[in-house]
Amino acid sequence: MFKALTQCKTIADFEKFLEKLPRPMRVEANFGVIDSEGGAAYYEVNNTKFTKVDVNDPKVAPLGYLVYTNFSYTGRYNQGMGYIRYQNANNILMRQSSVGEITPEWIYDNLSRSYYHSILNIDLKNQKEAIEKSGGWFIDQDFIPRKTSTASIVFKGVKKGEDPLNTVMWTMIGFPPTAIAVPLWVKYSNHIPSTLQRSKESENAYACTSSVTLKWRLFPITRGNGNKYFRYSLITNSNQNGYQEILKKYEKEIFNLYKPLINDNITFNESELITLKNKVDSIIINAYKTIL
């Protein structure tokens, strides 16, 4: 992907890039690609060939979106992983696409942090009291956020003719159920909050380290099969004092700070950007200080 980003401007360029790669390509993966001309597609790639799955083709994506996890539609049948997680996400998106707007905030609240399970037909957020009666624990299996999840990223691209520098990367680093989302712009790449950058104390950013610290509180058992269980009641509970309830209030402040930039395409000057960045850092630090 690093090579592709340095050489490709459009999805057509990416296709040419794949065509020129020597065989075997030594990769089996799905690549999601958008460009500044309104292009959007997934490329299912294996050692010898690739298949383009065009999100803009109504025959391919009649509802205007595609859902991918860790398997491919055109790959080897019944191989790969993520089939249940795919069904979780697909069920949630299908309901929302028929009744409301799909926004970055909605994606984070309803997908990245979702504990809905399509096989069990339950959503843990609706089972708080029952889970609390059983000690607050649940089995961590086939939910969208996994114990190994390290980030959740939402890209808001541009249409053909719009300024590509207005592309937004909504960034949630760390374990999504205990992380905070922050929008970052290509054109403001010199003004990334310090809490999202590598800290002086470690290789990780403050926001990431804080989120992961909370994650390990959710998974405190390490021996035997204990690592398969997590304390869901710490994430959200009937007393409304779970990690998500607390962090969501601070995340909402960040969303409100950035609304003029996102909704109205207002351009901030240097001093305003510095002030904004410092406010975001303060919000993130205060958010985790209330819990850690």
User: CA of 24: how far to CAs of 4, 20, 71, in Å?
Assistant: 17, 11, 20
Same domain, 270 and 163: yes
> Which of 81, 106, 135 corresponds to the end of one domain?
81
Do 6 and 77 lie in one domain? The reply is yes
| 149/219 same-domain check | yes
**Residue 71 shares a structural domain with residue 140:** no
Average pLDDT over residues 72-76: 86
Q: Which of 13-27, 162-176, 253-267 has the lowest mean pLDDT?
A: 253-267
pLDDT at 78 over 90: no
Q: Which of 121, 226, 109, 130 is nearest to 172 (CA)?
A: 109
Q: Is residue 211 part of a domain?
A: yes
Give me the domain span that covers residue 198. Answer: 126-289
Is 92 a member of any domain? no
The answer to whether residue 8 sits within a structural domain is yes
Pair 29, 139 in one domain: no
Same structural domain, 71 and 191: no
Confidence category of residue 229, pLDDT binned at 50, 70, 90: very high
Lookup: tokens for 160 = 């053909």
- With CA atoms as reference, report the closest residue to 247 among 108, 122, 151, 150: 108
134 and 47, same structural domain?
no
What is the rounded distance in angstroms from the CA atom of residue 37 to the CA atom of residue 161?
A: 7
Give this prediction's pTM: 0.93
pLDDT in tens, 47-68: 999 999 999 999 999 999 999 9
Kindly state whether residues 60 and 176 are assigned to the same domain.
Answer: no
Judge if 145 and 77 occupy the same domain.
no
Q: Are residues 217 and 162 in the same domain?
A: yes
Question: Distance between the two ends of the chain, CA-based, in angstroms?
Answer: 36
- The domain total for the chain is 2
Structural contact between residues 127 and 204, judged by C-beta atoms closer than 8 angstroms: no
Residue 44 lies in a domain: yes
Q: Flag whether 109 is in a domain.
A: no
What 3 state SS string does the chain have? CHHHHHHCCCHHHHHHHHHHCCCCCCCCEEEEEECCCCCEEEEEECCCCEEEEECCCCCCCCCCCCCCCECCCCCCCCCCECHHHHHHHHHHHHHHHHHCCCCHHHHHHHHHCCCEECCCCEEHHHCHHHHHHCCCEEECCCCCCCCCCCEEEEEECCCCCCCHHHCEEEEEECCHHHCCCEEEECCCCCCCCHHHCECCCCCCEHHHHHHHHHHHHHCCCCCCCHHHEEEHHHHCCCCCCCHHHHHHHHHHHHHHHHHHHHHCCCCCCHHHHHHHHHHHHHHHHHHHHCCC
Whole-number pLDDT of residue 201: 83
Same domain, 180 and 45: no
Q: What is the chain's mean pLDDT, rounded?
A: 94
Of 54, 81, 108, the residue that ends a domain is 81
Average pLDDT over residues 165-189: 94
Question: Position of tokens 């002030």?
Answer: 275
Give the confidence band of 100 by pLDDT, cuts at 50, 70, 90. Answer: confident
Is residue 104 in a domain?
A: no
Tell me whether residue 106 is in a domain: no
Last residue of a domain, one of 52, 81, 110: 81
> Please, which residues have CB within 8 angstroms of residue 198's CB and are 6 or more apart in sequence?
204, 205
**201, 211 Cβ separation under 8 angstroms:** no
Q: Is residue 130 part of a domain?
A: yes
Same domain, 194 and 136: yes
